[in-house]
Structure 1
């Protein structure tokens, strides 16, 4: 629309094109004709689209940025004319660019990673403090300003309880690969902190790996840090960090371990000892201690996890079955699974595994998917150690299934174990027809050879 030498609004002379890849907006290097911005280089962003929806969105972005005038963590507007055709605003030119070029600098610099991620969280927290959700978080939307960064591009941001014409008429916008799944099902119009946290997790991943954010793969990422990213990016928003403060605390805790500021194993075992003492002597527990232990466990390296989970007392599984903690059973079983599957324990410990997994299996608060996983782990230990008492516990779980959803999941689990302790269960003792018919089929297959 504009060429070098053109004059915009009688105030700015176009020097060059800065960027034309910013969606609805284009950015130009300009020279002020009458205004003085301290000699700093400035850029002018204008709306290059003519449809009303894009124009509303552009004006809304500018007005949101003006709400954060003077804020060191949000990109700043120096001048604007939203009634001009096309509407525009002027901002400083951040010579260091965005975060996309930082990978070589931070890939092997743990302290640099921590500092950057905390800055990103703090920038987004400024928006959330004013009940505004970004909805398009990615490395390109943070600008580097010397040693600090600023969040930018608020064109898709939404204030809580505000449904504009733009959000009402658009199913979802944003950047492919970064969007949380709920945005694809109408959640874009009802954004919240969990959506921004999902996109922050994807951004952390891209900054660390330079890989496609669509698929989060743990190669070359320390296990504690990868778990943090996975939790940010959980497809179920209720299983993500629920606030930026919680995420920030988790980032610091992860790098405490990675940078050697604390001994994660020692802290986990200390918490476990305290929890065990409370359970055995006082018959109660402290929710904050349990939460910290579960968080600490996720940050350990795989071999460290196996060491710690093997010391968890059976009473602890009763705590996990409480409604307060049952949503974390999936996460816990992910940490528990490698210990079971390694088979580095005595035959007697298979009985303990089976009993502990039955505690979760029998709880009405534990999700069916987690119950199926618990049964699978119990059967794995029983089979590997050839422990009849553990097999009896597995049989009791199988026979007790009495709901359709759980029966389908358990059917798939038991068919993995073509062993006598499974197919010799008396079908008439099973409470669900799906389980009974599966065992009959397994028995026929075993008899047929």
Structure 2
């Protein structure tokens, strides 16, 4: 099938490349000339494992093209996916649909009858209805509108797209359902379940899924605090409850709080949707508050590990991206941590394998190291913020000898306390018994 993908951000680029890899003819279109020029030259606008090779392979085979010309991209397309940004609107927490509706109005000028317009962007309930209204206002008829939310994890997006837990399609017309069934037919070999729902239901599924995962994270983080108070181990607690099939082990890893482009934005948007219709969502509201408080509290946690004072102390920060295998700094826990430490008078040396460029544009007055070992050199404390694989097998003895102090604050529980102490470090994990070792 011929597919047009409006937007070459994270969702649009990954989806477009994977659709092309299925054998579809895909044209990705974006207003950003620099981004399109880069993609045509093989330069990726985001860092995602395997994406560069996938894009180049399908571009070489002629199945994947990039352009700024919307009419050319849409011409002959049987389905047009909208994958533009829906950031949180400043001041009120609503999802900003400006880019979505702008794309629809431009699309209305060139779209042909029989085309299926599909929202891939994460959008509030009722957005599909508004898209239909805009198309009607622009005189467009015989066009179907569907919702096909994405469930991609940054760092594992290609695998998630090709081996999904489920494919959600929200559509009111059989024509749209048939088009999306054909687009995703290659995945049926993997027995990927496809669930057809009403359009509004599909829009809500995306928000409900992310909100539930966010709840699990905030829940285990509060349990971690309790573990520190009663001298229990949150990792064993998480294993103990995660072995229950009704709960499951995923998203039960205590840490500095969730970040990224999805959970913070989607939980706020869900709350705004609920408030708009007068329905309380107390659990999600509390989850957001717990997470916000937790990220802010991480600087104080480091200060406590250093005896309550960080002024004049040199602190090595390992990991800046909100999670491993991505360069995404949006809502990353490292941001309030570093800002809080700087406000308290600390000197920061930071290292991240891929997010340095994004971090340099975000932070002033900190040193960026070229390796974990360089970040730790002469530091009074080292803080593990993002659990990159290369941080999992550091030579702790060498690390300790290079440091001025001996404090290791492990916000991801990568290391065992005993191993760290044998290496000569004072270890502070999250929820691993009392905060201050006896």
| TM-score scaled by length of structure 2 | 0.28
| TM-score scaled by length of structure 1 | 0.28
Q: Which has the higher contact order (CA 8 A, sep 6+)?
A: 2
Pick the structure with more helix per residue.
Answer: 1
Larger radius of gyration: 1
